[in-house]
Amino acid sequence: QPWTSPGEPQALFSRPRWPVECEVIQETIEHIEWVPPEPEPFCPPMGPEPALYPLDEEQGTVVYHSSPALQGSCFIRARVGGAPGPLSSPAAPLEGPQDTTLLFESRFESGNLQKAIKVGPYEYVLLLRPDLYTAKHTQWFYFRVQNTRQEPLYRFTIANMAKPKSLYGQGLQPLLYSQRDAQSRGIGWRRVGTDICYCRGSTGEPPTFQLSWTVRFPHDGDTCFFAACYPYTYSDLQRYLRALMADPARSRYCAVRALCRSLAGNTVYLLTVTSPGGAAGKRVVVASARAHPGESGGSWAMRGFLDFLLSAHADARLLRRLFVFKVVPMLNPDGVVVGNSRCSLAGRDPNRAYGMALPGSFPGVWHLRAMVQRVLAEREVVLYCDFHGHSRKNNVFMYGCDAGGDSTGTRLRQRVFPLMLSKNAPDKFSFSSCKFQVQKSKERTGRVSMWRLGVSHSYTLEVAFSGSTLGGRSSHFSVEDLKSLGRLLCDTLLDFCDPAPAKLQQCLVEAEALLQRQMGREPGSGGSWSDVSPSELESSTSGSDSSVSDG
């Protein structure tokens, strides 16, 4: 049954807690939501690669350096506001009004920039901070620049990206936010950058990769931000949940409570959504997001899912009558707070810790799995969906679970939900990019773990950092695109659970025809493929999901 934490609701919403090694500026960073009037097209790939920058500070002047003095190699304790005492000054001071050096800052929630080196009048080499208590996972970036000039063309090069392939090589652009444009013109995050290049940098082990772009700022003397994807912080989630609890209509069918506390003591929230009047006989849908903190697009899709589910729309009312929804919108709040790409404060990937995790090491993951186990003892969980982001493949797609030993019908049904979603979102969702193979390296992911517990339809939803190449599009996702995925997921759930069998039967026939085609057979020619392994089924498409999965 839905229930709220005892005591004052404010106890649920204490300010973010940081490791004591982390300095945090006092300013509140908030951004307006904005949808560009036209879709933002992908940037044409550039020609010859620019000069590579060695990670040698003698090549330039360090103008920003913020690196937490980590006490040992593991997390010890946290407090609200991070490190006690006065803040240091990581940015080099300006020498006067004529000094055009940019002032960098990233010591705010979800911020990530470790060092900035000025190598030319308007040219900077940047280094990202690895995930805390690791030496790896440099991908997410989010930082502020001040003292901008409108006229010159600036070049930025992030010199220590970790992944060998990236959508930046296929037209993805970084995001820019101008505070002045937000205040005076109502314009929020927008895609910027020309001459974008993603290429190999250092030749050492492990190798690093460089992301380079040029940009002109919209104003002199502006405060601007760059980010890898639309930021969605822990405080953003808290503001959303506070408004939800204060709304007399929505709070009638949504209970917010603490699933558990994170390592740093931040609340991992659990929402229970269903129509008032009890949950007897209702099946359950479980959804989660932000196991990986750098995949903020997953939070925007989750926002859209909750917005629709809690709306007055007739379909939303029907969903609340039919199901109990258990939703964990931010599994890894600590990673989100400190600006990690992939890990929690345990220094490891929480989406590789299901089924083995001790509650003290990965509390969000442990308590989510335990909650699903308890629910399964009483009722059917019809669907589990874990929202993620993907840095190397365009569009939206899913990973499902087909171990190969099941009947033909069961294996086909694994593919029905993603196939229905592709019909509801033809300009965003790519069924041909979906993978269903269960690999050994993915046994401890949320998707496979829930499936092993007995959730027959268990998926990872992968949302590209970039955008869509489908339905005549070749453009970036806006925040509105990402939020629409949540609504489309709700539409698909109703189709999937429709008591009239027509849609399900049509999709089963279509899924079988697609698989026959993949096996090189004529659709309708007969012949069994139920003994064909999932790896064989997928070898004729774009390879196994180990080579591309971020989930």
Catalytic residue among 105, 123, 462, 538: 462
Output the CA–CA distances (angstroms, integers) from residue 196 to 82, 120, 168, 220, 289, in the order listed: 35, 18, 7, 23, 30
Output the CA–CA distances (angstroms, integers) from residue 93 to 63, 90, 104, 279, 518, in the order listed: 8, 9, 11, 61, 62
Is residue 462 flagged as an active site residue?
yes
Q: What's the CA gap between 460 and 446, in Å, rounded?
A: 8
Dihedral angle over CA of 161, 163, 167, 173, nearest 10: -10
> 230 Cβ partners below 8 Å, 6+ apart?
175, 189, 296, 297, 300, 479, 482
Residue 294 DSSP SS3: coil
Query: How many CB atoms neighbour CB 469 within 10 A?
Result: 17
The answer to whether 533 and 515 have CB atoms below 8 angstroms apart is no
Amino acid at 533: S
Amino acid at 219: H
First to last CA, the chain: 31
DSSP designation for 524: T
Q: What is the chain's alpha carbon radius of gyration, rounded to the nearest angstrom?
A: 24
DSSP designation for 111: -
Active site residue ranges: 462
